[in-house]
């Protein structure tokens, strides 16, 4: 089962003077001019550290602090990397810095990915600062290079980054992603980036680390997509994160469906907003995943088919809460299958173009309240009550 998670140039863009102005209200430490000066000095160290990452200069990086994860990052194509100091907690010659790391993968991220980092530092004899450690912030997830050496495989339309994975395995994932991209464009259209970044960690636990959540939240979940909904210009590129444990047990068809589903989330992200219910976003992604496969409703929706066969026809479309990773696999499957059958109904009886128009109309609404109702009226010429009754009839006819 797949799921939706909620992520110019090459120079360092933040100067020490600008950062000093931003920090005056937030610094914690030795007060007065000494705190201000320390903040400027630490920011300069972080600027040099960022430049070393972009240049791939191990020696320059080592002069700013312990090598740490530097070697894990070497294969990742970076367009930008910068730190912005947000708080400094100093005790004598030692300090802890809270910083905002902004980075962009070349050719894939239209805007930077932003994550929190915590750095431990020691003041050197020459007055500069040395980074002893650089790790995720308290409320930030790990990055892939925090987990080990990153191997990179480029596809025609994809970039696959993995830790603990062979080049052959990553190439197979790239091939699947390369097939997913045109399949999504064929359904949704071409007004999206038409490329995808796939992260393949070493294990379920490592996947959870990238998401900042317990592993139990994703057990049995083959993949998730992270990214910001809405603003297409400012939101960074999504990341499709695979669970190698669950994804690995799928057959060839299942793997393709899952990766096409997740790629659909990448394509539709700009049109997906707080007004979009999960039955629509997940149902549409499944509809694209199964589109053209020849699978019947009973084959693609087995849990819902069993329920309908028992006379348990849903009385409504599933709410967002039913898509939570609660450990109840059957309930979760029925929620996804309900969304998929609703989207399939629209595609069959109104048309595929109308399904896309309906999705966009819902997302364009200013708020959740009234979004589906207004889009059903203006695009489909129906009401939620009429649609639900028609959907129930569809389930009885196709799954009963």
CATH number, domain with residue 43: 3.10.450.50
What's the CATH code of the domain at 197? 3.30.2010.30
And the tokens for 62?
A: 């080592």
| Same domain flag for 285 and 268 | no
- 299's enclosing H/E stretch is helix 297-300
How sure is the predictor about 231, in pLDDT bands with cuts at 50, 70 and 90?
Answer: low
Can you tell me the distance from the alpha carbon of 224 to that of 221, in angstroms, rounded to the nearest whole number?
8
Q: How many domains does the chain have?
A: 3
State pLDDT tens for residues 32-84. Answer: 446 689 999 999 999 999 999 999 999 999 999 999 999 999 999 999 999 99
Q: Parallel, antiparallel, or unpaired: how do β-strands 223-226 and 196-200 relate?
A: unpaired
Q: Which of 140, 160, 176 is the last residue of a domain?
A: 140
Average pLDDT over residues 297-307: 96
* Residue 306 predicted with pLDDT over 90: yes
State whether residue 294 is helix, strand or coil.
Answer: coil
Helices 302-309 and 384-399: crossing angle in degrees, nearest 10, is: 90
Task: Give residue 237's pLDDT.
Answer: 61
| Same domain flag for 7 and 131 | yes
Task: Give residue 9's pLDDT.
Answer: 33
| Same domain flag for 123 and 180 | no
* Residue 236 predicted with pLDDT over 80: no
Lowest mean pLDDT among 16-30, 33-47, 149-163, 226-240: 16-30
| Same domain flag for 218 and 250 | yes
Bridge-partner residues for 154, per DSSP? 159
State pLDDT tens for residues 253-276. Answer: 999 999 999 999 999 999 999 999
Q: What is the CA radius of gyration of the chain?
A: 24
| Same domain flag for 15 and 135 | yes
Task: Give residue 200's pLDDT.
Answer: 98
Task: Give residue 227's pLDDT.
Answer: 77
How sure is the predictor about 141, in pLDDT bands with cuts at 50, 70 and 90?
Answer: very high
| Same domain flag for 128 and 184 | no
Q: Which of 272, 296, 318 is the last residue of a domain?
A: 272
Average model confidence (pLDDT) across the chain: 89
| Same domain flag for 136 and 257 | no
| Same domain flag for 104 and 162 | no
Bridge-partner residues for 134, per DSSP? 119
Average pLDDT over residues 324-350: 91
Can you tell me the distance from the alpha carbon of 340 to that of 296, in angstroms, rounded to the nearest whole number?
12
Can you tell me the distance from the alpha carbon of 342 to that of 283, in angstroms, rounded to the nearest whole number?
7
* Residue 1 predicted with pLDDT over 80: no
Task: Give residue 47's pLDDT.
Answer: 98
Average pLDDT over residues 377-397: 98
How sure is the predictor about 377, in pLDDT bands with cuts at 50, 70 and 90?
Answer: very high
Task: Give residue 324's pLDDT.
Answer: 82
| Same domain flag for 339 and 261 | no
Q: Residue 129 burial by CB count (10 A; 0-12/13-18/19+): exposed, middle or buried?
A: buried
**For the whole model, what pTM was predicted?**
0.88
Task: Give residue 30's pLDDT.
Answer: 40
Residues 221, 323: contact at Cβ < 8 Å? Answer: no
| Same domain flag for 300 and 240 | no
**Residue 223: partners with Cβ closer than 8 Å, 6 or more residues away:** 2, 3, 240, 241, 242, 243, 247, 258, 259, 261, 262
Q: Which of 272, 304, 339 is the last residue of a domain?
A: 272
* Residue 238 predicted with pLDDT over 90: no
How sure is the predictor about 4, in pLDDT bands with cuts at 50, 70 and 90?
Answer: very low
Average pLDDT over residues 363-372: 96
| Same domain flag for 182 and 201 | yes
| Same domain flag for 217 and 262 | yes
Beta strands in 223-343 (DSSP E): 223-226, 239-242
How sure is the predictor about 329, in pLDDT bands with cuts at 50, 70 and 90?
Answer: confident
State pLDDT tens for residues 167-215. Answer: 999 999 999 999 999 999 999 999 999 999 999 999 999 999 999 999 9
What is the residue range of 391's domain? Answer: 275-400
Task: Give residue 233's pLDDT.
Answer: 54
Please list, residue by residue across 19-55, b when 16 or more beta carbons sit within 10 angstroms of its beta carbon and e when fewer do. bbeebeeebebbeeeebbebbebbbbbbbbbbbbbbe
Task: Give residue 220's pLDDT.
Answer: 85
């Amino acid at each position: 089962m797949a799921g939706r998670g909620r992520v110019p140039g090459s120079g360092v863009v933040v100067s020490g003077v600008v950062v000093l102005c931003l920090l005056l209200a937030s610094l914690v430490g030795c007060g007065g001019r000494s705190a201000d000066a320390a903040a400027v000095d630490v920011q300069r160290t972080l600027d040099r550290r960022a430049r070393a990452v972009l240049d791939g200069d191990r020696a320059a990086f080592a002069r700013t602090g312990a090598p740490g994860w530097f070697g894990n990052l070497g294969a990742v194509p970076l367009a930008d990397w910068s730190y912005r100091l947000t708080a400094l907690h100093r005790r004598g010659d030692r300090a802890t810095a809270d910083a905002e790391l902004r980075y962009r993968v070349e050719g894939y991220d239209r805007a930077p990915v932003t994550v929190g980092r915590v750095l431990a530092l020691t003041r050197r004899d020459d007055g500069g600062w040395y980074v002893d450690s650089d790790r995720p912030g308290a409320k930030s997830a790990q990055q892939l290079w925090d987990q080990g050496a990153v191997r990179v495989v480029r596809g025609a339309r994809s970039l696959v980054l993995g830790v603990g994975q062979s080049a052959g395995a990553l190439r197979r994932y790239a091939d699947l992603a390369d097939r997913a991209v045109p399949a999504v464009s064929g359904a949704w259209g071409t007004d999206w980036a038409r490329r995808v970044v796939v992260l393949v960690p070493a294990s379920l636990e490592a996947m959870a680390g990238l998401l900042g959540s317990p592993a139990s939240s994703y057990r049995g979940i083959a993949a998730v997509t992270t990214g910001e909904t809405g603003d297409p210009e400012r939101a960074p590129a999504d990341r499709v994160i695979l669970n190698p444990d669950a994804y690995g047990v799928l057959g060839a068809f299942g793997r393709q469906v899952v990766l096409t589903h997740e790629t659909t989330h990448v394509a539709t992200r700009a049109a997906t907003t707080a007004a979009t219910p999960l039955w629509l976003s997940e149902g549409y992604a499944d509809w694209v995943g199964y589109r053209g496969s020849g699978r019947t409703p009973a084959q693609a929706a087995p849990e819902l088919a069993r329920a309908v066969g028992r006379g348990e026809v849903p009385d409504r479309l599933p709410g967002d809460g039913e898509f939570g990773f609660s450990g109840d696999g059957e309930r979760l499957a029925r929620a996804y299958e309900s969304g998929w059958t609703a989207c399939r109904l629209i595609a069959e009886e109104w048309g595929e173009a109308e399904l896309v128009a309906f999705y966009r109309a819902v997302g364009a609404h200013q708020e959740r309240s009234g979004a589906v109702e207004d889009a059903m009226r203006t695009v489909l010429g129906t009401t939620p009550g009429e649609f639900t009754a028609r959907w129930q009839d569809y389930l009885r006819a196709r799954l009963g």
